[in-house]
């Protein structure tokens, strides 16, 4: 049996390049991510999902 775990937060973006620091006081190091051809990417630290608007 396979369990699908949803991203803790999904953020819609206007750009294919985004940065993530986890937010809040106890975030993580800032990383820069590219949404690529798929129009989405998941932060490797906090699992926040970034989705290109209209994709």
Look up the pTM and report it.
0.82
**What are the sequence ranges of the domains in the chain?**
19-52
The pLDDT score that the predictor gives to residue 35 is 97
* Calpha distance 30→22 (Å, rounded): 8
**pLDDT of residue 3 exceeding 70:** yes
From start to end of 1-55, where are the E strands?
Answer: 10-13, 17-20, 31-34, 40-42, 49-52
Kindly indicate the confidence band of residue 49, based on its pLDDT and cuts at 50, 70 and 90. Answer: very high
Give the Å distances, CA to CA, from 14 to 11, 24, 26, 29.
Answer: 10, 22, 26, 22
Strands 31-34 and 40-42: unpaired
């Amino acid at each position: 049996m396979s369990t699908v775990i949803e991203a803790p937060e999904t953020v819609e973006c206007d750009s294919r390049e985004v940065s993530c620091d986890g937010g809040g006081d106890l975030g993580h190091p800032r990383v820069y991510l590219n949404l690529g051809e798929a129009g989405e990417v998941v932060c490797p630290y906090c699992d926040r999902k970034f989705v290109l608007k209209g994709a």
